[in-house]
Structure 1
Amino acid sequence: MKYFVSPYNQSVDLKFPENITVYDTTLRDGEQTPGVCLRTPEKLKIARKLDELRLHQIEAGFPVVSHEEKRSVKAIAGENLDAQILALCRTKKEDIDTALDCNVDGIITFLGTSALHLKHKLKVSQEDALNICMNSIEYAKEHGLFVAFSAEDATRTDLDFLKNIYKRAQSYGADRVHIADTVGAISPQGMGYLVGELKKEIDIEIALHCHNDFGMALSNSIAGLLAGASAVSTTVNGIGERAGNTSLEELVMTLLLIYGVDLDFNIGVFYELSQMVEELTNMKVPDNKPIVGKNVFRHESGIHVDAVIEEPLTYEPFLPELIGHQRRIVLGKHSGCRAVKAKLDECGIDVTRDELCKIVEIVKEKREKGKYINDNIFNDIVRSVRGPFEF
């Protein structure tokens, strides 16, 4: 058995869409994290790994931003990956022309729709915004692109106007509309309500682009799917502007193991992908990050370690090998004899019961004095008790 989650999950009658699309924006929204800048070789490396995961769509970048960005998007589109390659565009002809020159499969074109954005950023009326958006959708469709229209700050937009602009987008041939929770300000219940209201008015695929300002990006994405949306935007490690976006690995593993929705992804590459993005973006994955954090499969407490050695699923919801991760027993203040014995066995060292108890005692003392018990320090402790010994 590779995982064991609560049986009560299946006691709730939930209905997800038959087909769910995951489109990853690590290379676009993820790169918009302050301080992050990915060059073309780095973007290609991540895109290939996302394709190895069998991701549906990759938002490769925002090609009008710079010559290097355009080069990156064009290079990814030229890789002949199985994933569809999308580019972000403003509602401007020149942006769409730049995307076309990159040979992408489709675009995501966006415009702020909330009163805040219309008044303070765009300085246009709702009617003007409608015309701007429709002209862009029409132009992109005329050139054979997959077109998604994203209402920026949708979750703070007047509902009647949002319905109107999405209905118009559908009538102009858009393939998908996006609800952008731009500042992560909606609740899961609010997202469920919003998607439900939109489903009454439009017959077009709805996607969710959720930010994590209140720590609810994943919950909002799940709520939106349950209400009838069928596409979700993600980033590896949940990176992105401010508090980041819906985490790719959290979404996929939650759908798979908690809700029983298998998207047929190659989940064995998740940890490698996470480590790659951490290295290339120089954004450290928190040790307690769900799914891919180091502490998810690290154990120190003696009671926990005893149980994990006997049966890992006592303190792990799934085995680390499932995503290419690995378990580690950490020695410290809370360690017991069994944890230290396991470490000694790993090193091929036999000790007496008295020696084992002494080693455990010293491990605890050193950790309480602020020493992290790495392999070198552990070796020194064993030598101090056991005498000279080749590890």
Structure 2
Amino acid sequence: MATANNPISHHTSHTMGNGASSSSCCGIHGDASHPIGHHTSHTMENGAGSSNNGAHGDGATSCVNGHNQGDVLDAPLMSPATDFFNWNMEHNEADQGPLTDVSPCSSVSRDIDDSDVGTTTSDATPMSSVVNLANFSIIDSTLREGEQFITAYFNIAQKIRIAQGLDDFGVDYIELTSPAASEQSRADCEAICKLGLRAKVLCHIRCNMDDARIAVQTGVDGINMCIGTSSQLMKHSHGKDMAYISAKAQEVIEYVKSKNIEIRFSGEDSFRSDFSEILKLYSLVDRLGADRVGIADTVGGATPIEVYDKIDALRKAVSCDIETHFHNDTGCAIANAFVALEAGATHIDTTVLGIGERNGITPLGGLMACLIPTDRKFALSKYRLEKLNYLEKLVAQIVGVEIPFNNFTLSLKDME
């Protein structure tokens, strides 16, 4: 546990051998007076939230693999081996600015006939019957969870390009690092709120009134609030019990709702929490007027069966929306996200290329590849799939990685 004289290190992980919590996708908690390291996470009780921006000071430039990233796209990019078709560049992003070797379409697989879509056999039930996509939204967290990726040092110019790209693709929400994390994070949040995006802008905060006041002042459309609820985090992270959590949640929810701003309450490490207590807590915040409750697989160990059972139980306990956040430590993030939708979840957290802490979270492209056969017409009417390749190459170049050889593919017909 960090103290006022012991700054949090650059990269910590979810849990240590003795069960002590460290930086996770949902939070590190520390004393209000200690400095915050580069890669902390969702929330910190009595301490500042996460940000990488302290690493590059004024946010003007940042360094990835020894390269200046002030100019977002200097380095050459490797196109995926499946980019067989040379689309007319006029079909691409004339308004996005030049990209080195970025084609306007996603990786190409075989065309899918209409007869292939929605069924597995001639007498099978259509896949669209199990997922209500009309009640589904993407919360992309590339600019929050993605900042925890080991080489993610986004400056403000890069954040703006990513935010505009996500908005052009059609995500419903863009989640940003807590403006309480640093002065740079606050300034970046205000700048993105002023872009006039169609997507709603969210910021992530601790279950803490000071954080809530700072967040409201930035002009965000919504606030994602989080605090540890597993026994490990309640003991080793913030040291509070469920009664304390309930009281703080009520205080923050009532304040944020009085400002006519959306609010989500989420328990960090909720999949490893006592789920009977989660249901009681979430029923309370639902009655208090929370717009969403969030359930987070913070350590990436949930299985699809477990996800279905818990989301199904939660759906029966609350009337508000349900947001889900799945880490990919066991390779189940996409499957878990899809099963969560089947069970009644309404919001899925994603990042471009799945970047994030450790193995990252549900990738935007992978989720889309899974949803296309489920309800192709809906997906095509809501999302601009031809923008996905641009986004993936933009983010890959900024963080200094190659797009995986086995990246998820979408057919040309998917984009028609």
The question of 1:155 aligning with 2:271 is answered yes
Please tell me the residue identity of whatever aligns with 2:145. D
Pairwise mapping of residues 289-304 of structure 1 onto structure 2 (< 5 A)? Answer: 289-291=407-409
Q: For residue 322 of structure 1, what is the aligned residue in structure 2?
A: 415
Q: Report how far residue 230 of structure 1 moved.
A: 1.0
Q: Secondary structure at the match of 1:9?
A: coil
Q: For residue 328 of structure 2, what is the aligned residue in structure 1?
A: 212
Q: For residue 16 of structure 1, what is the aligned residue in structure 2?
A: 131
**What do residues 181-228 of structure 1 show as CA deviations (whole Å, max 9, x unaligned)?**
111111111100001111221111111111101000000000010011
Q: 2:340 aligns with which of 220, 224, 227?
A: 224
Please tell me the residue identity of whatever aligns with 1:285. I
**What do residues 244-292 of structure 1 show as CA deviations (whole Å, max 9, x unaligned)?**
000111112210135547231011100011000111122332222223x
Q: Report how far residue 35 of structure 1 moved.
A: 3.1
Aligned length: 298
Q: Secondary structure at the match of 1:147?
A: strand
The question of 1:42 aligning with 2:167 is answered no
Q: For residue 282 of structure 1, what is the aligned residue in structure 2?
A: 400
Q: Report how far residue 320 of structure 1 moved.
A: 8.5
Q: For residue 221 of structure 2, what is the aligned residue in structure 1?
A: 105
User: Normalising to structure 1: TM-score of the pair?
Assistant: 0.73
Q: For residue 270 of structure 1, what is the aligned residue in structure 2?
A: 388
1:36/1:257 CA distance change after superposition, 3 Å: same
**What do residues 271-319 of structure 1 show as CA deviations (whole Å, max 9, x unaligned)?**
011000111122332222223xxxxxxxxxxxxxxxxxxxxxxxxx723
The question of 1:87 aligning with 2:198 is answered no
1:103/1:277 CA distance change after superposition, 3 Å: same
Consecutive unaligned residues in structure 1, runs of 5 or more: 292-316, 324-391
Q: Report how far residue 60 of structure 1 moved.
A: 2.4
- TM superposition outliers: structure 1 runs of 4+ over 6 Å: none
Question: Does 1 or 2 have the higher relative contact order (CA < 8 Å, sep 6+)?
Answer: 2
Contact 2:172 2:200 (8 Å CA) reproduced: yes
Q: Secondary structure at the match of 2:144?
A: helix
Q: Report how far residue 130 of structure 1 moved.
A: 1.5
Q: Report how far residue 100 of structure 1 moved.
A: 1.4
Distance 1:283 1:96 in 2: 35
**Structure 1 residues 132-141 or 111-120, which shifts more?**
132-141
Contact 1:166 1:177 (8 Å CA) reproduced: yes
Consecutive unaligned residues in structure 2, runs of 5 or more: 1-109
Q: Report how far residue 139 of structure 1 moved.
A: 1.5
Contact 2:369 2:408 (8 Å CA) reproduced: no
Pairwise mapping of residues 23-172 of structure 1 onto structure 2 (< 5 A)? Answer: 23-172=139-288
Q: Report how far residue 73 of structure 1 moved.
A: 1.1
The question of 1:3 aligning with 2:112 is answered yes
How much is the aligned-residue C-alpha RMSD, in angstroms?
1.9
Structure holding more helix per residue: 1
The structure number with the bigger radius of gyration is 1
Please tell me the residue identity of whatever aligns with 1:12. T
